[in-house]
Each structure stands twice: as C-alpha cells, then as structure tokens.
Amino acid sequence: AAGVIQSPRHLIKEKRETATLKCYPIPRHDTVYWYQQGPGQDPQFLISFYEKMQSDKGSIPDRFSAQQFSDYHSELNMSSLELGDSALYFCASSMTGAGNTIYFGEGSWLTVV
C-alpha cells in the first residue's frame, strides 16, 4: 500500500539558510500534518492542512511556512535556519471519516550547521 512520501530524507544546511521539505500524502487523504521531533523528544505538531486550506496551527515558528498544493502535496519552507531547527520533520496524512487515523512518513532529517 502507498505510504506518505517525504523528500529529501536527509538535508544539511548552514545557519541562516533556507530549506524546503516536501510531502506526498497517501492517495485520497485530504489532510496533511507536519510535525517536528527533536532528539529524544516526542513529535510536536507544527501545522495542518485540510483540502488545501490551513486547518490548525501548532508550535510553528514565524520563520517557517507551509502550504498544500492542488495535487495535495505539501511543502514546509524554513528560512533563517537556526541550530535549534535541527530535527526530524515528519509529514503525516489522514482521510476524513476514517477513524482519525494518521499515518506518518519516514521523516526528513534536517541538520543545521
């Protein structure tokens, strides 16, 4: 079965640079979520989109932005990167009415040096 696809899997950036992460949800899933997981921490919710509109916002820094496109893929844009942004970034998707089950991608490792 198709899963949530994230790219790139690994990314190394320098401070103050910009990074973009991409996410392709499971086909027919209408909601996309972004989470950030620091070393040894549980995933923290950043932002979500339902039918291409932002539906909820969590602890996403102002330096970050995200959007969902017409083909339902989503991108997380991170600017003015800081060392503390180094983390695993997960995209997840779900389908309305399917028991609120959320499926995660394998994550994108961002290292800021």
Residues in binding contact with another protein, number by CB under 8 A: 34
Please pick, from the candidates 21, 24, 43, 76, the single residue that binds another protein as defined by CB under 8 A.
43
CB of 6 to another protein, least distance (A): 8
Please pick, from the candidates 15, 28, 106, 111, the single residue that binds another protein as defined by CB under 8 A.
106
Beta carbons of 93 and 28 less than 8 angstroms apart = no
Q: Report the distance separating Cα 42 and Cα 36, nearest Å.
A: 9
Please pick, from the candidates 21, 24, 33, 74, the single residue that binds another protein as defined by CB under 8 A.
33
